[in-house]
Amino acid sequence: MGMFDNFFRNSKKSSTYKPVFLRALLDIADLHDPKKSERMAGEDWLCRVGDRLRLDLNFIAIRYAKYYWDMEESFHLRQTQDSHGARIIRIIKEQMKTWGKRAPPGILQLESGGMEAFRKKVINQAIKPEVLYHLRTDMPDLYVRLGGNIIELDYGLVEFLHEHKTIIRQGLNGVIAKYLEKLNRMTPQIANKIDAERISRKPLNPRFKEQMHKSQKSRCFYCECRLVRTHVDHVIPFNYVFSTDPYNCILACPRCNCLKYDRLPLRSTYEEVLDRNQEMKFVGRGIRKFDRRSYRQLFNACRQEYNGNKRPFIPERCV
- Do residues 83 and 224 share a domain? no
Rounded Cα–Cα distance for residues 191 and 189 (Å): 5
- Do residues 184 and 223 share a domain? no
Which of 150, 166, 193 is a domain's end point?
193
Confirm whether 318 is domain-assigned: no
- Do residues 32 and 136 share a domain? yes
- Do residues 78 and 103 share a domain? yes
Q: Which helix (H) or strand (E) holds 145?
A: strand 144-147
Query: What is the reported pLDDT for 307?
Result: 87
Helix axes 156-183, 2-10, angle to 10 degrees: 10
Residue 53: what are its φ and ψ, rounded to 5°? -120, 120
Q: Which residues of the chain register pLDDT less than 50? A: none
Rounded Cα–Cα distance for residues 77 and 74 (Å): 9
* Prediction pTM value: 0.86
- Do residues 262 and 168 share a domain? no
Query: What is the reported pLDDT for 101?
Result: 60
- Do residues 70 and 135 share a domain? yes
Number of domains in the chain: 2
Which of 142, 167, 193 is a domain's end point?
193
Query: What is the reported pLDDT for 288?
Result: 75
Rounded Cα–Cα distance for residues 317 and 319 (Å): 6
- Do residues 97 and 230 share a domain? no
Confirm whether 315 is domain-assigned: no
Query: What is the reported pLDDT for 153?
Result: 95
The upper half-sphere exposure of residue 298, i.e. CA atoms within 13 Å in the direction of its Cβ, equals 23
- Do residues 67 and 168 share a domain? yes
Rounded Cα–Cα distance for residues 43 and 59 (Å): 8
Query: What is the reported pLDDT for 145?
Result: 92
- Do residues 37 and 126 share a domain? yes
Query: What is the reported pLDDT for 37?
Result: 55
Which of 124, 158, 193 is a domain's end point?
193
Rounded Cα–Cα distance for residues 264 and 306 (Å): 10
Query: What is the reported pLDDT for 296?
Result: 93
- Do residues 74 and 162 share a domain? yes
Confirm whether 133 is domain-assigned: yes
Contact by Cβ (8 Å): 92, 68: yes
> Which range of residues forms the domain containing residue 169?
2-193
Q: In this structure, are strands 150-154 and 52-56 parallel, antiparallel, or unpaired?
A: antiparallel
Rounded Cα–Cα distance for residues 131 and 123 (Å): 10
- Do residues 185 and 269 share a domain? no
Confirm whether 188 is domain-assigned: yes
Q: Phi-psi region for residue 195, left (φ > 0), alpha (ψ -120 to 50) or beta?
A: beta
- Do residues 231 and 121 share a domain? no
Query: What is the reported pLDDT for 81?
Result: 80
Confirm whether 220 is domain-assigned: yes
Query: What is the reported pLDDT for 286?
Result: 64
